[in-house]
Amino acid sequence: MRDTPITAAASGPDPLLSLMQLTDSALPTGAFSQSLGFETYMQRGQIHDEGSFAEWLQMFADQQLTYTDALAIRLVYAAREVEEVVDLDELATVQALPQQVRDGGITMGRRLLSIGAASYPGPWTLHCAAEVEAGRMQGHQAVVWGVLARELGLGQDTAVAAHVQATATSLTQNAVRGIPLGQSAGQRIIRAAQDWTRRAVEVSRGLEREDLGAIAPGLEIAQMHHERQRARLFMS
């Protein structure tokens, strides 16, 4: 049998099922290769078991995800025209100071955008894909997800929660392989992350554009140190 691509159904996409697809850890964005800094803490011996990784992940959600990705998604929803999203993409990209984190976010964002443009070709999504292709937009992952979620008709809080929880899940799966942890330990951490996700949703509601990138410097410094480690399991 020939490998024939499946054409899109005549009916519109289901928002919930689309969310499940685009935030699934099996989505081929390259998230499996990113630690977003926790590998540095592993090398230092500060992350070594379930409790120490959970403590780091909570800190990461509270001090970084809330003020970067969660806020960026809300700013996409606040945009009145797509050119504002292009400007936001540049701002969200440059505020990521550690190069490996910045590059990883762009890689994952562009892959997400490619999948989204093929499966859910809304006007803003296609415009962003064209801007990335032309070199006028980087493709920050949270910005891309915000555009897709907005065009799918997902609520703003739902979009934020889905992205934060998906990031926590992906990082936990990487920690299960990297530390390593047991599968049951990983599931306990993912369940606990729901509380941190809810807090990110609540806190990000009250943030302004000027708060984008207000991150604890210690976390960013650890992320910068990662590229100088002699042996690495992850790309960031």
pLDDT in tens, 85-143: 999 999 999 998 778 888 888 999 999 999 999 999 999 999 999 999 999 999 999 99
The CB density around residue 92, as the number of other CB atoms within 10 Å, is: 28
Task: Give the start-to-end residue ranges of the domains of the chain.
Answer: 34-226
Report residue 158 as tokens. 């739902």
* Closest alpha carbon to 156 in 169, 165, 146, 171: 146
Q: Report the C-alpha dihedral over residues 99, 71, 53, 176, rounded to 10 degrees.
A: -80
Per-residue pLDDT tens digits of the chain, which is 236 residues long = 456 665 555 578 999 999 999 999 889 987 778 777 888 888 889 999 999 999 999 999 999 999 999 999 999 999 999 999 999 999 999 998 778 888 888 999 999 999 999 999 999 999 999 999 999 999 999 999 999 999 999 999 999 999 999 999 999 998 999 899 999 999 999 999 999 999 999 999 999 999 999 887 777 777 776 666 666 666 54
Query: Is pTM, for the whole model, over 0.75?
Result: yes
Task: For residue 157, give the H/E element and its range.
Answer: helix 156-178
Fold of 34-226: Urease accessory protein UreF (1.10.4190)
Q: Which amino acid would we find at residue 34?
A: Q
Classify residue 45 as left (phi > 0), alpha (psi -120 to 50) or beta.
Answer: left
Q: Are 104 and 222 in contact (CB under 8 A)?
A: no
Tell me the C-alpha distance between 33 and 56, whole Å. 18
